[in-house]
A and B are shown apart, each in its own frame.
Chain A
Amino acid sequence: MSSLLTRVRLKQIEQLIEKAKRLDGRGLGDYREIKIEQGLIEKAEGSARVLLGKTEVLVGVKVETGTPFPDTPNDGVLTVNAELVPLASPTFEPGPPDENSIELARVVDRGIRESKAIDTEKLCIEPGKKVFVVFVDIYVLNHDGNLIDASALAAVSALLNTKMPNYEVKDGEVIIKQGYTPLPMKSHPITVTLGKINDKLIVDPWLEEEQVMDSRLSMAFNDEGNICAIQKGGGGYFTQQQILEGMKLAQEKAAELRKKMDW
């Protein structure tokens, strides 16, 4: 994803960060403007679109019946997939998911799964045989940096918007009835991503900053403010102190974001 920026621009970003400023006028700890819209895809059981500055992510949730995993016969199944759609960036190419989209999907998945956001036991129809499978499909529509936070936010918003079909079991057959109930949710994870540029931590890096920063750290927090998932990315490093500093900053930011959500 490199070499889209001139070296002059990269230098400018670095120098500004030294003065605790950013090219788009934000402070080091500020998020871009966040807009969330829910339920815009009628054919999906749940959907949400998140705008994080110019980054745009659409998440659709489909609920189908399927078989549970043998080691968790009483639990419904969560599947998260991410598509870096070619129209979202000149660096995205059509084809099977590459390592970036797989990492994105797995980091979002980890946040939802480890915080036990979905009450999967309530998705069991017949233990060991039939359960509901929740497909979370992340569609990146415009890439302007920090896809992880935007996708995680869109995924949770879409899950909160998801309606499950009412059903009854007759002779081992699942019959779909009229009406819907909301997807049973237990927690609402929030993911905060930090970037490291010249040994300074910044919140919510946008595209140009992503090309300057040497590593990123994403942390997901559950409703109680405990950590439920972490992913370090990029070919740089963090010192022990930076990690602990970053955790405190991310925790603060997650709490701040949570206040803004009507969850």
Chain B
Amino acid sequence: MNEKPEKLINKKGLRLDGRKPDELRPVKIEVGILSNADGSAYIEHGKNKILAAAFGPREMHPKHLSLPDRMVLRCRYHMAPFSVEERKSPAPSRREIELSKVIRESLEPSVFVEYYPRTGVDIFIEVLQADGGTRCASITAASLALADAGIPMRDLVVACAAGKVDDTVVLDLFDTEDKVGSADVPLALMPNLNAVTLLQMDGILKPEEFEKAVNLAIEGCQKIYALQKEALKTKYMLIEQEEEVEE
């Protein structure tokens, strides 16, 4: 058991991992890395390592769950037993069930569900290593998996958290800050539409601090959005290059 650090921000105003309050962790994204999935993405957000895959549009199983006028989106967020300090039982926890629901609801507004009636799309998210902010990184990756599967979308969904540690509003909390800090505000955004599709909070924030946290999280989302688009383009550039070599 690690000792709880007394201070999360040092005298120079830097955080435990050396970041400034408004600095993101390094983010690395790859698209189309699973050959059996219709769409897939892998994200490393700080020490978070997360895989997301999308299957569909395809026939729903069980069939009676399909809807006559739209596609049904299903989502499973799951953590690997070895992804955290103490082994997590592989059975879905209540937390995972709630997160599966809020992640699905954060992606739903981005998809033109009415284009594919009677079908289903399944999104599977596997957290291989968790270090705070997994739901946000999962959304960023899952949205790319949907795009990679060629599903028509209004925009990509990108997510990032802000929060409060030691009376300072900071961007993108990692594990220790999340656990010891005083508040965490995960937020998902469709940047082109200025639409917030996920918003949660725990901890205690004054209304003005909450406003600041929301603005900071949106700024963070916009930075990750650029990386997200880049990752999607990169996949198709690689395909192009491969084709040139073959010719």
Contact = CB atoms under 8 A, between A and B. Distances in A.
A135 interface: no
Contacts of B194: 239-240
Given A102-B97, A102-B98, A232 B202 contact: no
A230 B204 contact: no
A230 B185 contact: yes
23 contacts: A70-B1, A99-B97, A99-B98, A99-B100, A99-B101, A103-B98, A103-B102, A113-B202, A215-B105, A227-B204, A228-B203, A228-B205, A230-B199, A231-B102, A232-B105, A232-B198, A233-B105, A235-B104, A235-B105, A237-B195, A238-B195, A239-B194, A243-B196
A244 B211 contact: yes
Nearest to B67: A2
Interface residues of A, number: 36
A229 B202 contact: yes
A230 B205 CA distance: 11
Nearest to A110: B202
A225 B209 CA distance: 13
Q: Which of A113, A227, A229 has the most CB of B within 10 A?
A: A227
Given A99-B100, A240-B196, A235 B207 contact: no
Contacts, number: 95
Q: Interface of chain A, helix or strand or loop or mixed?
A: mixed
Contact of A222 (B94, B185, B190, B204): B204
A115 B204 contact: yes
A101 B239 CA distance: 45
A251 interface: yes
A105 B109 CA distance: 25
B108 interface: yes
Interface in A192-248: 215, 217, 222, 225-240, 243-244, 247-248
